[in-house]
Structure 1
């Protein structure tokens, strides 16, 4: 298939396809003149690639597929990028990323923890991005998950700047990362030159447009990676930092300004008012800070082909586009520029479309340079670490007590009990992260455990009263939609409720299930959730060891660092006394437990401790 055919087949159907055709026509029409007054700049964008190089599901050890038959990974994105550059011209095309690059797959975990890049290897994501030839990337919040030292090593391995204008040095308040970069994009005869090496500087060879590229990241990093960032890096609000920075970028000579912003377009915060700035601020940024021409949006894992936001001060329309996560889509922005009689360039029109990775083959060069890293990871995740006496599935964990979640809670509570030597009752929380997770009967591998606990969280313990336990569970129960009658209901009819902090629906990872230590009657926490009742009054029959939980009763709570730092805005956690925080990764804790014990026996930890009710009657859910 030719590169032109690749582009034709990759364009997302509907309005985007028409815009792609219009953009291609514009690009073809703007053949370089000696002193052109019009010019089309193409900006390509990815975001939230989360450690995906190949179209591979390491948890299944098989080619990736989902219900929509999406494909993933930078190897496929590389093919699309090459096709666009071939069509538009390498020198008139910029390639950006909006963050969350080095966390999310066993591949990225392997090079953070098993064979860390701090000891020498090049991170596979750095190798892929360097081979593709990105011009700049923004920090994402997950860049900080493995600590600042590993992030700095990753930054040093990149051939392009890693931008984070609102990430500030804890002590000085100065930028901790580059704030912006200005790229000189040639116009005129030299602009038709194709295929030069990445980073080639035309300098005086041609007239040029100066493109300011700014990187910003959600300030929620300060909450979610508090342990890694306190005393090192702090964060300002996105709009607040941009209001000061964008005028400086213009004064530095930028004709146009593009922001790569790791912050969703739907103004909201999963952490409520725990910070004075919203988590998702890209729309606010476009509306409130003048002189931004386009924003590559990240963080929210949603698909926004093109959206326009009017700036309240200038009245100009700002283009926003967000490609789907994991390399499933590539944003293609076409910015039509015109030059005034003073020689200054500005954007006259801006459009965007999305290209679909499932139409492209994997780039042969990416495959060549990263297959060895891929195979090392596969070998690691397929290593057998123990056995299970019975199969355990997380498929119904959102609405039903399952052994899979009980298993996580048991190991967390057991670890806290042993580490603290406490005489207080120990409870644990876990969320249904991955509905496809399953521990098989028989041999259990690393990837089985990694699928059950897909985040790189660490274990902490805090102290709660009985009243705080109830408040926590009430908040968690807002995950459920209010219903009447006992069903039967489809799972979607009762889960993922819309709330003020989750206008798109409460994600599964923000529904916490709380349990005691094992199946002994004296250590079990039991409760019912009556979702016929209004949020805030749903938890009934709350008991520990068979006795009703008293408001003043004291408990230790095994909790992950994301939640303990305020992620999800659950009540009480950020002000509760911290009893334990040894920075032990929960996933590794589970792997180590299975390796040490040898056999997973669900009868040790699995019991039905919570139910969904409607007006006191059990609910039937059909899945």
Structure 2
């Protein structure tokens, strides 16, 4: 009889026939082989690997100091990745966002010499070479605007007025996902909200035999809702942000229905166990209630869990201070029993979640007792030896690196006679802050004076003050400090360069804004800033850390008025919220009803940092100019008028000091080693001596609060 091949194919697809002879003739029926049945009890182990907050740090190089920095860089993370892959042949490599912005390299490719559609960002070139499997978004992805993000990710957002260049643009070769941001007009996600990554992994049957199984890894990604405030100029009216928990509850079931055996949340937010709100910035803790299997977090630039290498740095105090009922295990890496990792920032660590699953009842089931979590650093082998850089990455972006160095060296046309540094900003040194405040203040005063707006005209007699934080003051390690050196030769000065404003004001995406506040607002603002300090117990005989965590150093605003007319003191022996005393302006106590205009940035004016009452409602000036550009222009203005920046005029007006207090035991400040002479030259008598190094490479400087 004639064989009905259509029927055979249908039966084979249904699994009802196999290879063999027909019962009616000797014709062999060739069919597609069945997928081998997975024996009950089969186990598979695999590693989920994470990078986060790379911030365009491809190489171990500091473009602000024009020097190698072996403490950071994806070229060294690459070595960690290769080692982890060798240890775990079954692996998936993921990135948690804040990838494209953060160095002069990133700024050059986005702003000064924008990469064309035909090109690929240096950071994406490196990630493509490393064969990343997937990635999420961070808040800083939006800093350069939606058109740029659309181009460099080769993604059409379907947002009116935002279009990608025609054709295929250079972009990551791995899927990018974002689960909680939608277009206002389309009400649809601007990126794909999730992806399923099918992987063939080696597994072990109960009898010890080896087999290959298909495991589907599902990934989602979440950004803080504050992107709408922080990048209002780029996002207002264009995108909306959903709470991460709400988005996860929508997409986790979809991922499961599409075959995801493992669901991984890439959450660009830290761990905040306070009651959930869709508006909270650090939402990661609450994602553990949504049915995910693994959690990879970022944004906070911290290490979670504690490093397992010898001499690993201590846990950040923010983890130690969490309530016991929060169920956060910062030693083993679990949050509400969900394995969780944060790989610090700038490529300094690799997050590794090694999971084991067993095939039971027709599905893969996680084995928590066989799950290990590690945030692996450059010294993981013995606690002291740095891993070497992968030479292939430096070759890959050689042209981009050289272009950035050349750009960094371009002159500004002004010299300086003093060192602008942030090593001791937390004890009163303003050498790296005053000039920023002067630039902002000058801009706002001129803006109001030249404005024809009738409302702004009424503000001409209100005092203008300014605030800025020491953005580079230890948050990202002992090499993360501002240090603009003075000219080595007075007879032939080198002068300041393009790189220096970025060292003084790190965030090139911030735009200058001004707010109108009362004296009561000013005091509340200063109290929030003073939270940076730990509460010092004068009676305690054991050592106390003056600044236990640098995680929120960008919230330590230092205020300034012309002629150093604003003065205040901080009493660190008092609890947070009641530390500001002797607040005065032009020699008179500041009254609650006094009016001030404060020059700041759009992040702070819009509510960033949660300063009470500063939520966007008090903003009176929204400048089109970036703060970093304002600083650069001010330096060039000084070059044309005086020719130089001087310590007397631009770096010695200390507006604040500590209330003197005698302590029974030692108090210390962590900063970069070798800079005690700078403290002495700045007149900081309270910096008494330089101590030894801690596990993170910080020197522990002795602080005498009685001076």
Q: Same fold (TM over 0.5)?
A: yes
Tell me which stretches of 4 or more aligned residues in structure 1 moved more than 6 Å. 486-490, 615-619
Root-mean-square deviation (Å): 3.1
Residues 435-477 of structure 1, C-alpha deviations (whole Å, 9 max, x = no match)? 3313322222222332222222221011112222222222222
Q: Report the counterpart of residue 594 of structure 2 in structure 1.
A: 553
Deviation at 1:34, TM superposition (A): 8.9
Which of 392, 397, 407 aligns to 2:425? It is 397
Residues 406-429 of structure 1, C-alpha deviations (whole Å, 9 max, x = no match)? 111111000111122133211101
Which of 464, 477, 486 aligns to 2:517? It is 464
Classify the secondary structure of the residue corresponding to 1:76. Answer: helix
Are residue 438 (structure 1) and residue 486 (structure 2) matched?
Answer: no
Q: Report the counterpart of residue 410 of structure 1 in structure 2.
A: 438
Q: Report the counterpart of residue 82 of structure 1 in structure 2.
A: 82
Q: Report the counterpart of residue 48 of structure 1 in structure 2.
A: 53
2: distance between equivalents of 1:265 and 1:553?
A: 38
Which of 125, 128, 143 aligns to 1:127? It is 125
Q: Report the counterpart of residue 475 of structure 1 in structure 2.
A: 528
Q: Closer, same or farther in 2 for the Cα pair 1:149/1:108, shift >3 Å?
A: same
Classify the secondary structure of the residue corresponding to 1:162. Answer: coil
Query: For structure 1, which segment, 359-368 or 374-383, has the greater mean C-alpha deviation from structure 2 after superposition?
Result: 359-368
Q: Is the 8 A contact 2:54 2:99 kept in 1?
A: yes
Q: Report the counterpart of residue 237 of structure 1 in structure 2.
A: 243
Classify the secondary structure of the residue corresponding to 2:433. Answer: helix
Q: How does 1:524-539 map to 2 (within 5 A)?
A: 524-539=565-580
Q: How does 1:188-207 map to 2 (within 5 A)?
A: none
Deviation at 1:380, TM superposition (A): 1.4
1: distance between equivalents of 2:38 and 2:592?
A: 77
Classify the secondary structure of the residue corresponding to 1:404. Answer: coil
Q: Report the counterpart of residue 613 of structure 1 in structure 2.
A: 659
Q: Report the counterpart of residue 173 of structure 1 in structure 2.
A: 187
Q: How does 1:358-507 map to 2 (within 5 A)?
A: 359-385=386-412, 386-421=414-449, 422-435=460-473, 436-442=481-487, 443-456=495-508, 457-483=510-536, 493-496=545-548, 507=552
Gaps (5+ residues) in structure 1?
1-32, 66-70, 190-204, 311-316, 497-503
Classify the secondary structure of the residue corresponding to 1:319. Answer: strand
The structure that is helix-richer by fraction is 1
Deviation at 1:555, TM superposition (A): 1.7
**Structure having greater relative contact order (Cα 8 Å, sep ≥ 6):** 1
Q: How does 1:40-439 map to 2 (within 5 A)?
A: 40-65=45-70, 71-86=71-86, 88-89=88-89, 92-117=90-115, 121-156=119-154, 157-187=171-201, 208-267=214-273, 276-286=278-288, 288-290=289-291, 292-305=292-305, 306-310=332-336, 317-342=337-362, 344-348=363-367, 349-357=370-378, 359-385=386-412, 386-421=414-449, 422-435=460-473, 436-439=481-484
Classify the secondary structure of the residue corresponding to 1:104. Answer: coil
Classify the secondary structure of the residue corresponding to 1:139. Answer: coil
Q: Is the 8 A contact 2:302 2:551 kept in 1?
A: no
Deviation at 1:341, TM superposition (A): 4.8
2: distance between equivalents of 1:444 and 1:268?
A: 46
Classify the secondary structure of the residue corresponding to 1:117. Answer: coil
Q: Report the counterpart of residue 649 of structure 2 in structure 1.
A: 604
Q: Closer, same or farther in 2 for the Cα pair 1:341/1:554, shift >3 Å?
A: closer
- With the length of structure 2 as denominator, give the TM-score of the two structures: 0.71
Q: Is the 8 A contact 1:301 1:324 kept in 2?
A: yes
What is the aligned length?
A: 545
Q: Is the 8 A contact 1:135 1:160 kept in 2?
A: yes
Q: Is the 8 A contact 1:487 1:620 kept in 2?
A: no
Residues 259-293 of structure 1, C-alpha deviations (whole Å, 9 max, x = no match)? 22212235369xxx9x644322323211x112x21
Q: Closer, same or farther in 2 for the Cα pair 1:341/1:612, shift >3 Å?
A: closer
Q: Is the 8 A contact 1:308 1:320 kept in 2?
A: yes
Q: How does 1:560-575 map to 2 (within 5 A)?
A: 560-575=601-616
Deviation at 1:246, TM superposition (A): 0.4
Q: Is the 8 A contact 1:388 1:439 kept in 2?
A: no
2: distance between equivalents of 1:482 and 1:211?
A: 45
